[in-house]
């Protein structure tokens, strides 16, 4: 939605907590209040309620103090923030020094079904699905082309929420717009069946969405193609059967659409001017606006949690000056060795003490800074230990501040699908299908942008599984993709790749493969007799 649209107050009937009382079926006295009783009166109402569904992935509720789900800290347990924690601090890319309950468990892969971040994300995704179901039910059958498009967008958002459920939890409760309103226990769906549902939904709405690049930040055909490609890329994890031809097909659709290209400047993807209007690379993102979507969430959270008063001051690096420098997240040294070829750049010098920002690195995707020590003494050590990361910024890509910059909240959108991912997903599919030449061609497009010339290009002889995984790490670090990639490559748990404090060991240790899937929250299993816990928990 346009950043200037203010999401009005509304009432959506929740599928799991509804009511059968007839006198609740009312039309509001105030026509400016959007409720189920008057949503169909004006397409503008529908767009504003649709905005609520989009916003449910990013912010806590209607305003800073009115959260949709009660929590001790309404910002802490929002979808984008909890998703980032589950996808990043469980891996080599990040570790958090805060002492809040549940963070140490994620840092060390020792979580249980009572981890609050797991519960929060599970509940938040389910809430987005509930909102979408209600909107879809209310708008089904409309002959208005605009409403039909809004309906398709809501179905896309529901499919996206189910994708995260499938990827993280595997076997969630399942409801659609066909289910009745009222108090009941949703049934559980298997991961393989959910895969088929998501695919069928995306196929069904593909032609009902807007043309690529035509209505950013609202979901369009290219967003659906990217989600299909992502689902197919991981199909073997989700179903046991690879679908690489299908992954390649939908990457082709995005690439051949002609609507997208790589941004000239890699950093623009993570700056305040990274939106799809100004950035040719952005396909779909969670939109942030320092005035309209305020909260310590998404990119504001990433920027502030990675900033500190000594090494990476938000005031200097990012342009935020209020409630800054939380000193929590940073990378582990093993990921530094993925992102920086220290031997090629610095020779036998073990630590680039004279180059704290790795400015000599030819790969210009490197936004790291040396801190007090490479080594992290304990999982809850101060954020002064480890490798600082300043990839996201609240400044524009040219270093200026956006007009009217809010001192506390970033305008930077959080990328979900970028054109670079279409290229690297297609490269991975091509490689596994035996077409090394095509894979190398796509990879080298990304690396030419990273290096500024062909000096970083590779040959077919250098293309391996490990290279593909590392290249995805170099391109997409801190974008909430790392865990999913490590799982697909067999490196997240019992593989041959360990990092500091994995398995709660200083140098890292193998963990059991059941951790490749998070547990269903214990509260859900206890409350719903239809839900069975994932194996190993």
Share of the chain above pLDDT 70, in %: 91
The band of 82, judged by pLDDT with boundaries at 50, 70 and 90, is very high
- Cα separation values, 8 from 59, 142, 457, 464, Å: 14, 23, 50, 51
Predicted local confidence at residue 40, as pLDDT? 59
Residues 31-47 as b/e (b if ≥16 CB within 10 A, e otherwise) read eeebbbebbeeebebbb
Highest mean pLDDT among 62-66, 177-181, 320-324, 344-348: 320-324
Q: Binning pLDDT at 50, 70 and 90, where does residue 203 land?
A: very high
- Letter string b/e over residues 361-383, b meaning 16 or more CB atoms within 10 A of that residue's CB: bebebbbbbbbeebebeebbbbb
- Half-sphere exposure (CA, 13 Å, Cβ side) for 155? 29
For the stretch 271-316, pLDDT in tens is 999 999 999 999 999 999 888 888 889 999 999 999 999 999 999 9
Is the Cα dihedral 467, 469, 471, 473 positive or negative? negative
pLDDT computed for residue 26 by the predictor: 30
Distance between CA atoms of residues 172 and 243, nearest Å = 22
Question: Residue 513 and residue 492: Cα distance in Å, rounded?
Answer: 8
Cite the DSSP H helix spans in 383-464.
419-432, 436-451
**15 pLDDT higher than 60:** no
Provide the 10 A C-beta neighbour count for residue 400: 13
The predicted pLDDT at position 291 comes to 82
First to last CA, the chain: 40
Band of pLDDT at residue 187, cut at 50, 70 and 90: very high
Is the pLDDT at 337 greater than 50, yes or no?
yes
Q: Say whether pLDDT at 204 is over 70.
A: yes
Residues 512/494, Cβ–Cβ less than 8 Å: yes
Bridge-based pairing state of the strands 329-330 and 34-35: unpaired
Q: Is the pLDDT of residue 1 over 70?
A: no
Q: Which of 64-73, 343-352, 442-451, 513-522 has the lowest mean pLDDT?
A: 64-73
Mean pLDDT score, 359-381: 94
5-19, 274-288, 319-333, 346-360: which range is least confident on average?
Answer: 5-19
Which residue reads 């649209």 in tokens? Answer: 5
What is the structure's pLDDT at 399? 94
190: which 2 tokens?
Answer: 């298997």
Is the model's pLDDT at 326 over the cut of 90? yes
pLDDT value of position 309: 95
Of 72-76, 211-215, 457-461, which gets the smallest average pLDDT? 72-76
Q: Which residue in 149, 161, 297, 287 sits closest to 217, CA to CA?
A: 287
Instruction: Please check the confidence at residue 29 and state whether its pLDDT lies above 50.
Output: no
Helix (H) or strand (E) run with residue 476 in it = helix 465-476
| Residue 291 CA from chain centroid, whole number | 22
Q: How far apart are CA 390 and CA 384, in angstroms?
A: 14
Determine how β-strand 329-330 pairs with β-strand 95-96.
antiparallel
Is residue 58 within 8 A of residue 288, CB to CB? The reply is yes
CA 153 – CA 219 distance, rounded (Å): 6
pLDDT (0 to 100) of residue 432:
98
pLDDT of 28 over the 60 cut:
no
- H/E run at residue 301: helix 298-305
For 424-455, the pLDDT digits (tens) are 999 999 999 999 999 999 999 999 999 999 99
Q: Is the per-residue pLDDT at 5 higher than 70?
A: no
Q: What are the φ/ψ torsions at residue 285 (nearest 5 degrees)?
A: -150, 160
- Give the residue from 162, 149, 157, 177 showing the smallest Cα distance to 47: 149
What percentage of the chain reaches a pLDDT higher than 90? 80
Backbone angles phi, psi at 174, to 5 degrees: -130, 125
Can you count the helices (H) and strands (E) in the chain?
18, 12
Residue owning tokens 């590779």: 458
Q: What is the pLDDT of residue 495?
A: 79
Least confident of 134-148, 462-476, 505-519: 134-148
At 349 the pLDDT is: 73
pLDDT of residue 63: 64
Instruction: Tell me the three state secondary structure of residue 418.
Output: strand
Mode of pairing for the β-strands spanning 10-11 and 34-35: parallel
Helices (H), 27-180: 43-55, 79-88, 103-107, 116-139, 145-168
CA–CA separation, 367 vs 406, rounded Å? 24
Average pLDDT of the chain, as a whole number: 89
Closest-CA residue to 154 (of 281, 55, 258, 272):
55
pLDDT tens digits along 215-233: 999 999 999 999 999 999 9
Q: How confident is the model at residue 353 (pLDDT cuts 50, 70, 90)?
A: confident
pLDDT band at 183 (very low <50, low <70, confident <90, very high): confident
pLDDT tens digits for range 238-261:
999 999 999 999 999 999 999 999
pLDDT (average), residues 86-106: 96
Rounded to whole angstroms, the Cα distance separating 310 from 308 reads 6
Going from the C-alpha of 497 to that of each of 107, 470, 487, 510, the distances in angstroms are 16, 12, 11, 8
Per-residue pLDDT at 352: 75
User: 493-498 contacts: CB < 8 A, separation 24 or more?
Assistant: 493/109, 497/92, 498/334
């Amino acid at each position: 939605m346009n950043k200037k649209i203010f999401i009005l107050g509304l009432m959506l009937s929740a599928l799991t907590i509804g009511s059968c009382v007839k006198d609740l079926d009312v039309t509001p006295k105030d026509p400016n209040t959007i409720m189920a009783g008057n949503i169909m009166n004006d397409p503008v109402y529908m767009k504003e309620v649709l905005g609520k569904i989009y916003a449910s992935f990013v912010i806590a509720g209607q305003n800073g103090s009115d959260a949709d789900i009660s929590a001790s800290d309404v910002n802490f347990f929002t979808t984008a923030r909890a998703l980032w924690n589950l996808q990043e601090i469980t891996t080599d890319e990040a570790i958090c020094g805060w002492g809040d309950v549940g963070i140490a468990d994620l840092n060390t892969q020792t979580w249980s079904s009572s981890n609050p971040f797991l519960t929060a994300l599970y509940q938040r995704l389910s809430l987005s699905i509930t909102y979408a179901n209600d909107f879809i039910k209310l708008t089904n059958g409309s002959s208005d082309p605009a409403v039909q498009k809004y309906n398709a967008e809501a179905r896309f958002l529901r499919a996206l929420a189910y994708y995260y459920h499938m990827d993280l939890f595997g076997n969630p409760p399942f409801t659609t717009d066909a289910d009745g309103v009222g108090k009941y226990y949703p049934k559980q769906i298997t991961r393989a069946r959910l895969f088929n549902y998501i695919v069928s939904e995306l196929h069904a709405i593909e032609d009902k969405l807007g043309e690529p690049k035509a209505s950013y930040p609202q979901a369009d055909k290219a967003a659906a193609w990217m989600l299909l490609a992502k689902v197919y890329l991981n199909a073997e994890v989700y179903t046991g059967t690879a679908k690489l031809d299908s992954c390649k097909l939908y990457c082709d659709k995005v690439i051949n659409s002609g609507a997208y290209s790589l941004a000239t400047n890699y950093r623009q993807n993570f700056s305040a001017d990274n939106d799809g209007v100004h950035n040719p690379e952005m396909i779909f993102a969670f939109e942030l606006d320092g005035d309209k979507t305020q909260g310590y969430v998404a990119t504001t959270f990433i920027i502030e949690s990675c900033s500190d008063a000594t090494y990476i001051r938000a005031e200097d690096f990012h342009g935020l000056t209020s409630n800054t420098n939380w000193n929590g997240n940073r990378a582990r040294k093993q990921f530094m060795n993925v992102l920086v070829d220290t031997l090629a750049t610095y020779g036998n010098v073990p630590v680039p003490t004279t180059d704290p920002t790795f400015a000599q690195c030819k790969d210009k995707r490197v936004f790291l800074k040396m801190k007090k020590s490479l080594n992290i003494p304990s999982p809850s050590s101060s954020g002064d230990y480890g490798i600082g990361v300043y990839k996201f910024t609240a400044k524009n890509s040219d270093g200026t501040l956006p007009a009217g910059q809010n001192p506390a909240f970033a305008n930077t959108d959080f990328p979900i699908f970028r054109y670079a991912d279409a290229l690297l997903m297609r490269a991975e599919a091509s490689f596994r299908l035996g077409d090394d030449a095509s894979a190398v061609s796509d990879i080298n497009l990304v690396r030419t942008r990273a290096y500024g010339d062909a000096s970083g290009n590779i040959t077919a002889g250098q293309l391996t599984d490990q290279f593909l995984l590392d290249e995805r790490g170099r391109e997409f670090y801190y974008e909430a993709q790392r865990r999913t990639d490590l799982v697909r490559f067999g490196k997240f748990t019992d593989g041959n790749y360990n990092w500091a404090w994995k398995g709660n060991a200083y140098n890292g240790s193998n963990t059991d493969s059941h951790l490749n899937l998070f547990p269903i929250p214990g509260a859900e299993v206890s409350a719903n007799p239809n839900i069975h816990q994932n194996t190993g928990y």
